Amino acid sequence: MAEAVVFDPAVVRSWGLAAQASGGDVQSARGKVTAAAEDAACAHMAGLSTHHATQTYMSRVKHGVRRVADDVTGTGDKLVDTVAVVRSADDASADLFTRWGGPGS
């Protein structure tokens, strides 16, 4: 038993319109329409690929910015700790200096 062939009316109309526009027949127009449809599909796929590549790039940039921000925050925390240590060392030195009869004792 043979399978029924189903034609999409929009495709058939586009073949006819392409044939009229190009001055050719439907048979030669069919290739042009098919090629145009394939080109459109390729362009769509390329667009999706470009979108994916852009999203991946942006994700990496955001990740890098977060790492830099974390590094800066970590450095700031370390500086605060260092300042606290220096201040306490200065206080201890001042106390020691005054205890041993230095200026201000």
Structure tokens at 39: 């080109």
The DSSP result for 16-66, as a single string, is HHHHHHHTS-HHHHHHHHHHHHHHHHHHHHHHHHHHHHHHHHHHHHHHHHH
Residue that is written with structure tokens 């041993």 in the block: 100
Q: Compute the distance between CA of residue 29 and CA of residue 16 in angstroms, rounded to an integer.
A: 7
Three-class SS state of 7: coil
Length of the chain: 105
Q: Is 85 or 9 the better-scoring residue by pLDDT?
A: 85
User: Which tens digit of pLDDT belongs to each residue from 3-61?
Assistant: 555 556 666 666 666 666 656 665 666 666 677 778 778 888 888 888 888 888 888 88
Q: Compute the distance between CA of residue 60 and CA of residue 46 in angstroms, rounded to an integer.
A: 21
pLDDT band at 87, cuts 50/70/90? confident
Q: Is the whole-model pTM more than 0.75?
A: no
Q: Is the pLDDT of residue 68 over 60?
A: yes
